[in-house]
A = this chain, B = another copy of it.
Amino acid sequence: MSFKKRTHTCNELCKNEIGKTVTLNGWVDRRRDLGGVIFIELRDRYGITQIVFNPTHSKSSHDVAKNLRSEFVISVTGRVEKRPDGTENKNFPTGEIDLLADEIEILNSAETPPFAINEETNANEDLRLKYRYLDLRRNELKNNMILRHKMYQVVRKYFDANNFLEVETPILMKSTPEGARDFLVPSRIQEGKFYALPQSPQTYKQILMVAGLDKYFQIVKCFRDEDLRADRQPEFTQIDVEMSFIDEESIYKMVEDLMKKIFMEIMNVEIKFPIERISYKTAIEKYGSDKPDLRFDLPIETLTETVRDCPFKLFSETANNGGVVAGIKIENGSEISRSQIDGLTDFVKKLGAGGLIWARVTENGIQSPTEKHITKEYFEKIANQMNAKIGDLILILFGEKIKTYSWLGNLRLELAKRNNLIKNNIWKLLWVTDFPLFDYSEEEKRYIAMHHPFTSPNFEDLHLLDTKPNFARARAYDLVLNGNEIAGGSIRIHNSDLQSKIFSLLGISDEEAKQKFGFLLDAFKFGAPPHGGIAFGFDRIAMLLCNANSIRDVIAFPKTSSGTSLMDDAPSFVDKKQLDELHIKLK
């Protein structure tokens, strides 16, 4: 079954080729039978070309064309002709010509697709995932794949040009669960033992620095066996980077140059540099989030001190119990109606807040349903501190510190959404720095690493490790794009003793540390350089650049939230023989 191979793609022919005989291969996108003449829009990855089957020119081709249906695969040979005046289509690069068919061969037929291969589809996602090969024919997903392809190339070209070495790290590694759950792989040769899939190549990239490779990068699959949230996948792609003999500034510079390239070469957008930096503490207190969206302002103002002596008991008690009273000012918020404010109250109550206190600054002074409790005097102090002007609306929440800032952070995003404060095509990058080294886990009753256990403490805070470890800051940094964390990293510990100390603060016993990470502690004894790095969420960045709604739309073969691949039905049951060989059985 040899066939006539294409001489051109379906996006190539224009006036220059008029008169030439060419062959195209592709899919029938549309077919119009005008009685006498049949028109086919032939589609391939590159574009569309219109084919004309005229029975007076080639009866046999026209006869075959009668039987064509959508998504049939054909090879057509014919002559490129100028379209009749007035029928040109300027929307297509090939819109000035037709291909007048001499010959046609049907390479494959097609059943009627379960959904139309259109730019926009309202087919439900499960159906699209099951027939992924059809969904990927749609321009939207195809273009996402093309952008993703470009991202790979731009990223690697950048690192190559900057003397980074691409090194592949193992996928079959050792299980060292710390944080998320590992996916395990039973060993057949070594009965009872298991490999784990990497949650990240963290230890390997640090080992590569000890090995002297100096600058490493890799675009690499990582795996986490978590209960999947909407925007997570069990396997995901990371741009993984590590450098030796550097500090935070070296990382910031390297990342900013990379971002410059990505935005320029893929989006043709020039981003302003340097990227703004704020500390974790400021991010939380000013935006209620460790990944604030700075495409709009709406900062949070902490009012705790201002209202400490307020007659309103809920305020003073909150203040005196270590809680927080804080608010957001909406400039010219007078147009926000009472019922809209009730909607916001419902919104924060769903998050867990007790209620929303609000006040309007009017020509007649401050007006609020709670003005009796809080008093005009305190409302004026608040308005003063927030620099509120006539026409502004003030929203206030109070309660336990972390929760209150988080509610306000959410409220801030909700306000931006409801009031359309976020303009299109704005790209706002932000460094968040000075993360705490530890987080206290109420569940596990121990400190856990905020970033990961290899993160270096800030050296100014070393003295806190023994006394107030929860106050120690880490040499960690996150990169945020439009309110999404797109990268995170740190300067690492490169000293065996300090690393052991951190393990012990994390409640990891010497024995456990040795068993899990002994090779790294050992490696640090043979001349480990100062080093640090970062890892970027490739899928997340692709999603943002594609303006996609979900990372599933930028992954060729994604899984659902239950970890199922609907196309091929993975995971699946396997033969008992396979399990026997692996020395395991089902419980």
- Which residue in B46, B184, B581 is a CB contact (below 8 Å) of A185? B184
Please give me the residue from chain B that is nearest to A456 by CB atom.
B1
Number of chain A residues whose Cβ lies closer than 8 Å to a Cβ of chain B:
126
Q: Looking at the complex, which one of B71, B235, B245 makes contact with A6 (CB distance below 8 Å)?
A: B245
Distance of A159 from chain B, by nearest CB (Å): 10
What does the 1/0 interface line of A146-171 toward B look like (CB < 8 Å)? Answer: 10110011001000100001111111
- Select which of B44, B111, B165 is within 8 A of A149 by beta carbon: B165
State whether the Cβ of A173 lies closer than 8 Å to any Cβ in chain B: yes
Contacts of A562 in B (CB 8 A): 189-190
Minimum CB distance partner of A134 in chain B: B526
Q: A527 contacts which of B71, B184, B188 (Cβ < 8 Å)? A: B71
Q: In the bound complex, do residue B211 and residue A185 qualify as a contact, i.e. CB atoms below 8 Å apart?
A: no
Map CB proximity to B onto A558-570 as digits: 1 under 8 Å, 0 otherwise: 0100111101111
Check if A160 sits within 8 Å of B167, measured CB to CB.
no
Given the complex, which residues of B lie within 8 Å of A557, measured CB to CB? 169-170, 204, 207
Q: Which of A239-253 contact B (CB under 8 A)?
A: 244-247, 250
Scan A216-254; emit 1 where CB is below 8 A from any B CB, else 0: 000001010101000000110100000011110010000
Interface presence of A197 (CB below 8 A) = yes
Residue A210 at the chain B interface, CB threshold 8 Å: yes
Looking at A1, A153, A524, A527, the one whose CB has the most chain B CB atoms below 10 A away is A527
Give every chain B residue within 8 A of A190 (Cβ-Cβ): 562-564, 571
A19 within 8 A of B: no
Contact partners of A225 in chain B: CB under 8 A: 188
User: Which residues does chain B contribute within 8 Å of A75, judged by CB atoms?
Assistant: 245
Whether the Cβ atoms of B211 and A133 lie closer than 8 Å is yes
Whole-angstrom distance between the Cβ of A220 and the nearest chain B Cβ:
9
27 examples of A-B residue contacts, CB within 8 angstroms: A2-B459, A5-B245, A25-B245, A25-B529, A27-B527, A27-B529, A44-B214, A46-B214, A108-B495, A108-B529, A133-B208, A133-B210, A133-B526, A134-B526, A142-B212, A145-B167, A169-B556, A170-B557, A170-B559, A172-B571, A174-B572, A185-B571, A187-B563, A519-B569, A580-B587, A583-B586, A584-B585
